[in-house]
Structure 1
Amino acid sequence: GLAALPTYSRGAAVAQFLFVNGRPVRDKLLLGALRAAYSDVLARDRHPAAVLFLDCPTERVDVNVHPAKAEVRFREPGVARGLVVSGLRHALAEAGHRASSTVAGAALGAFRPEGTPRVWQMERPAPGLRAAAYSVQSPQGFADGSPGFVPSARVEPESVEAADDRPLGAARAQIHENYIVAQTATGMVIVDQHAAHERLVYERLKAQMAEAGVAAQALLIPEVVEMSAAEAARLLDHAEALARLGLEVEPFGPGAVVVRTTPAPLGPVDAGALVRDILDEIADAGDSALLGARLDAVLSRMACHGSVRSGRRMSGDEMNALLRRMEATPLSGQCNHGRPTYVELRLADIERLFGRR
């Protein structure tokens, strides 16, 4: 079948088509398997797009359980569900850092002029902006800007190691202390540094969890976090699972817990804010969710606290290191909520915007 990248998610389950032995079905088991396969890369209010074809011997599936034959019953439902989930997750992992091409299309659409003609002559800038523009255009050269002008972007010197031939290119600038602009062999890439690093931290936490649990770092001074008695009880019910994630919490009287360790991969972190976010995630997931799903949700919240924040200035080496890690990490084309981590603009499309093609 065909499965769309997570960045091509929809607001409703309108782009999901399932076939069993060539017959179209709307089977709850298969729809649940499809959602489970994308649970790690989509927000709860987003739905994947896919067309899946399942073929199996007729004696292993009963097609007469629904009057309209819209549902089926498998003799081994666990096997059928497992095949769908594992197959889709392997396919998504093989996509690597790719994001949907519709992301770039939407970005280019935002650049294009509106349908209503604009009267440019009447859009006169403020006197201060005109003075700054005249100063920049003065004979002493374009590099001598106005004394009071503070740029919102920083240009990096060209790296010694050429990386333009890499899929995500070489970092050339950082804009608004949040977006990395990189040059590729065929165009340019704009990366959301927080969203991209959040995904990288999340994948690293999951890898550590799968091996031997997340490493913990002890707090020099344990931090007491106050909350309601019910919230403290709910959090302590998951204390053993949280300890495997590197977060050790203990009761500290009525309506409070004490945090003794935090996950080491996160570095310095606000333990109180981390605990409250995890508590919200536990309450949101509910007791019906499987333990593995709850742990992944908690890891996702932790990754947000351990990622590069918006507003942080990054050096050229740091930006290039982030790009290289994105290229080597599966699913890095979207953040933990399914939003794109980067937008790629082809040189041909950029030239078309300026009427050069």
Structure 2
Amino acid sequence: MRIHPLPTQLVNQIAAGEVVERPSSVVKELVENSFDAGAGHIHIEIEQGGIRLIKIRDDGCGIVKDDLPLALSRHATSKIASLQDLEQVASMGFRGEALPSISSVSRLTLISRTAASDCAWRVAADGSEQDFAPQPDPHPPGTTIEVRDLFYNTPARRKFLKTEKTEFNHIETLLQRMALSRFDIGLTLVHNQKEIFKLKPALSEAQQIQRVASLCGQAFVDNAVSIDFAAAGLQLTGWVGLPTFSRSQQDMQFFYVNRRLIKDKLVAHAVKQAYQDVLFHGRHPVFVLYLTLDPTLVDVNAHPAKLEVRFREGRLVHDFLFSALHRSLADLRPGHPDLTIHTLPEVSHPPLPPTVAATGGGTAAVYQPPPARQSQLPLQVEEQLRHYAQLAAEPLPIPTAVDAEAGGAPPLGYAIAHLHNIFILSETRTGIILVDAHAAHERVTYERLKQQYQQGTVASQPLLLPIKLSTSLAEADLAEQAQAIFLALGFDINRFGPETIVLRAVPALLRHTDVETLFRDVLADLSEHGMSQRVQEHIQELLATMACHGAIRAQRRLTVEEMNGLLRDMEKTERSGQCNHGRPTWIALSTGELDKFFLRGQ
């Protein structure tokens, strides 16, 4: 066949294949146009999931009569005029393809009026870009666009659409995300004559938080920390969920660049790295984040539907995002003003207390909070035994509450019991705390190991008697090749034969652990990651393995000094709210919540 120009409508339909995937794509393009028009409120009316009707009305600046035909023509826009404008796009739309593309696969009507016009003007389009004859219309200032019978003339495209419910869910989710990008604009969504939501403009911080709660749930707001971080011409604001408040899917991750909702692999990787050692396996963080930067530093023209962007300084943006989130999560220690953890569900009727067996009379004693001086972990087993012998010989103190006024009680309070040799029960000024001793000590040890490693080498403790370890030939070869890595981790090793390794020193923090098992596990991790740059990439996993070995084991009875020493260490340690595997290390119950369980005051 000879080369020939394509018909205008076919050209528009091809373009529509890039821009209009489903009804929600149409809603996105039209609402973004309303954003650019300076609308204060946008009303979205949907019928049959958007297949029958999409009607969007705004109170923006409107379009003058003579420009209406141009608005429905390809590559016609008011938002850019030169290459310089394209390199620093500040508007949501700018290609000038959305309206002609949409009209090529639907029956489109555009009604608009500017504030200076006596009346509005109406035009209809079918994608041919011909026979535009504006007609007067009694429309208030602003713009209304009706899109009827989507894909009526492209039945093959229509077959790819899902059910009405599914298509509307896409629209509702999209509008929720867009509502989070512009707090200054009110949004109303109606489906099949039923109002789904109506959001008023949220100008104050309290109103913005209320909008976030209405769209993401109150639980997110209750378990989120505000972010406000600026450096190198970049600013990150918004909210990130606590690591303990995560989801099985990535369905509550909202990221905006200069108010534009995007999905970007660079951003996703930076967030994943920031959460890497505080998030439980298989879980995903939740966040609503806004990145603001110079428009010249980001290319928003990288994707037809503008869902992806390209950063001019990608590494700078990645490191900035990682640092901002990593620092914010690290600061989440007990006592942080935004950190309130309540993980026990509310109950309408408190459970019946278990039957208490008689113990020969008398009342159980509760430990009196100790003075501020705390011992370091871990104490020797012999010291524990001497401590318990002393407690057994002395009369137990009379139970008293923590005196919050004298000396000021610390955030995690003072230990009063070790439950089932696993959990530390602590009394605070406002209630009680339960701590998983193993998980908490694991995090404390891990952070100390990371800090030592970053400062040079992990402190070593020479063994009084070197330990000979039998290994396979491959393991011995690997240990010899990795001698420098082991030294940086606090191990002093030498090869003593074809299948023998001599262990002369171990990390000082882990000197009381089973050092032989510890060494073999680290060796196994090195074998898995290989002797390459990947070892440095996975160094935190190696440190986490070591910390797990050094953590307090369940069923080991802790002394009061040990328990309080751990509580004080948690208060000083970054990310102490989660263990290395992302599990929570402590929960809090206020006195008000305790009152509810026992119906006090009712």
TM-score range, shorter chain: 0.7 to 0.9
Task: Decide which structure has the larger Cα Rg and report it.
Answer: 2
SS in 1 for 2:283: coil
Q: For the structure 1 residues 68 and 259, does the alpha-carbon distance in structure 2 shift closer, same or farther, using more than 3 Å as the test?
A: farther
Q: CA–CA distance in 2 between the matches of 1:75 and 1:342? A: 42
Q: CA–CA distance in 1 between the matches of 2:311 and 2:461? A: 47
Q: Is structure 2 residue 343 aligned with structure 1 residue 141? A: no
Q: CA–CA distance in 2 between the matches of 1:286 and 1:12? A: 31
Q: Is structure 2 residue 342 aligned with structure 1 residue 104? A: yes
Q: Which amino acid aligns with 2:456?
A: A
Q: Is structure 2 residue 296 aligned with structure 1 residue 296? A: no
Q: 2:525 aligns with which of 269, 281, 296?
A: 281
Q: 1:259 aligns with which of 475, 499, 503?
A: 503
Q: For the structure 1 residues 98 and 253, does the alpha-carbon distance in structure 2 shift closer, same or farther, using more than 3 Å as the test?
A: farther
Q: For the structure 1 residues 233 and 317, does the alpha-carbon distance in structure 2 shift closer, same or farther, using more than 3 Å as the test?
A: same
Q: CA–CA distance in 2 between the matches of 1:12 and 1:280? A: 31
Q: For the structure 1 residues 160 and 73, does the alpha-carbon distance in structure 2 shift closer, same or farther, using more than 3 Å as the test?
A: closer
Q: Which amino acid aligns with 2:251?
A: V
1:347 offset after TM fit, Å? 0.8
Q: For the structure 1 residues 111 and 81, does the alpha-carbon distance in structure 2 shift closer, same or farther, using more than 3 Å as the test?
A: farther
Q: 1:87 aligns with which of 318, 324, 329?
A: 324
Please give the root-mean-square deviation of Cα atoms over the aligned residues, in Å. 3.1
Q: CA contact under 8 A between 1:97 and 1:326: conserved in structure 2?
A: yes
Q: CA contact under 8 A between 1:41 and 1:336: conserved in structure 2?
A: yes
Q: CA–CA distance in 1 between the matches of 2:530 and 2:341? A: 33
Cα shift readout 1:213-255 (whole Å, capped 9, x = no counterpart): 1111222333233444444444444331221110133334445
> Residues 1-357 of structure 1: matches in 2 within 5 Å?
1-97=238-334, 104-105=342-343, 107-109=344-346, 133=357, 136=359, 141-143=361-363, 155-160=366-371, 164=404, 165-283=409-527, 285=529, 290-357=534-601
Q: For the structure 1 residues 160 and 85, does the alpha-carbon distance in structure 2 shift closer, same or farther, using more than 3 Å as the test?
A: closer
1:207 offset after TM fit, Å? 1.6
| Matched residue, 1:149 | none
Q: CA–CA distance in 2 between the matches of 1:40 and 1:271? A: 24
Cα shift readout 1:180-236 (whole Å, capped 9, x = no counterpart): 111111110011111111111111112222223111122233323344444444444
Q: CA contact under 8 A between 1:155 and 1:174: conserved in structure 2?
A: no
SS in 1 for 2:565: helix
1:29 offset after TM fit, Å? 0.7
Q: Which amino acid aligns with 2:577?
A: G
1:8 offset after TM fit, Å? 1.6
Q: CA–CA distance in 2 between the matches of 1:294 and 1:250? A: 23
Q: CA–CA distance in 2 between the matches of 1:160 and 1:279? A: 43
Q: Which amino acid aligns with 2:367?
A: E
Q: For the structure 1 residues 273 and 163, does the alpha-carbon distance in structure 2 shift closer, same or farther, using more than 3 Å as the test?
A: farther
Q: For the structure 1 residues 268 and 209, does the alpha-carbon distance in structure 2 shift closer, same or farther, using more than 3 Å as the test?
A: same
Q: Which amino acid aligns with 1:159?
A: P
Q: Which amino acid aligns with 2:512?
A: P
Q: CA–CA distance in 2 between the matches of 1:141 and 1:308? A: 34
1:291 offset after TM fit, Å? 4.5
Q: For the structure 1 residues 245 and 172, does the alpha-carbon distance in structure 2 shift closer, same or farther, using more than 3 Å as the test?
A: same
Q: CA–CA distance in 1 between the matches of 2:282 and 2:530? A: 16
SS in 2 for 1:8: coil
Q: CA–CA distance in 2 between the matches of 1:211 and 1:295? A: 14
1:335 offset after TM fit, Å? 0.8
Cα shift readout 1:287-325 (whole Å, capped 9, x = no counterpart): 787554422111111111222222222222221121112
1:285 offset after TM fit, Å? 4.9
Q: CA–CA distance in 1 between the matches of 2:545 and 2:329? A: 22
Q: Which amino acid aligns with 2:599?
A: G
Q: CA–CA distance in 1 between the matches of 2:263 and 2:527? A: 30
SS in 2 for 1:338: coil
Q: CA–CA distance in 2 between the matches of 1:234 and 1:110? A: 56
1:341 offset after TM fit, Å? 0.8
Q: For the structure 1 residues 27 and 108, does the alpha-carbon distance in structure 2 shift closer, same or farther, using more than 3 Å as the test?
A: same
Greater share of helix: 1
Identity of aligned residues (%): 40
How many equivalent pairs are there?
A: 330
Q: For the structure 1 residues 108 and 183, does the alpha-carbon distance in structure 2 shift closer, same or farther, using more than 3 Å as the test?
A: farther
- Indicate the larger mover: 44-53 or 238-247: 44-53
TM-score, normalised to structure 1's length? 0.81
SS in 2 for 1:3: strand
1:286 offset after TM fit, Å? 6.0
SS in 2 for 1:79: helix
SS in 1 for 2:334: coil
Q: For the structure 1 residues 112 and 104, does the alpha-carbon distance in structure 2 shift closer, same or farther, using more than 3 Å as the test?
A: farther
Q: CA–CA distance in 2 between the matches of 1:178 and 1:4? A: 28
Q: CA contact under 8 A between 2:350 and 2:598: conserved in structure 1?
A: no
Q: For the structure 1 residues 269 and 315, does the alpha-carbon distance in structure 2 shift closer, same or farther, using more than 3 Å as the test?
A: closer
Q: For the structure 1 residues 200 and 232, does the alpha-carbon distance in structure 2 shift closer, same or farther, using more than 3 Å as the test?
A: same
Q: CA–CA distance in 1 between the matches of 2:512 and 2:560? A: 23
Q: CA contact under 8 A between 2:529 and 2:535: conserved in structure 1?
A: no
| Larger relative contact order (CA 8 Å, sep ≥ 6) | 1
TM-score, normalised to structure 2's length? 0.50
Q: CA contact under 8 A between 1:97 and 1:331: conserved in structure 2?
A: no
Q: For the structure 1 residues 44 and 256, does the alpha-carbon distance in structure 2 shift closer, same or farther, using more than 3 Å as the test?
A: farther
Q: CA–CA distance in 1 between the matches of 2:500 and 2:279? A: 33
| Matched residue, 2:223 | none
Q: CA–CA distance in 2 between the matches of 1:68 and 1:287? A: 43
Q: CA–CA distance in 2 between the matches of 1:7 and 1:337? A: 11
- Indicate the larger mover: 79-88 or 14-23: 14-23
Q: CA contact under 8 A between 1:103 and 1:340: conserved in structure 2?
A: no
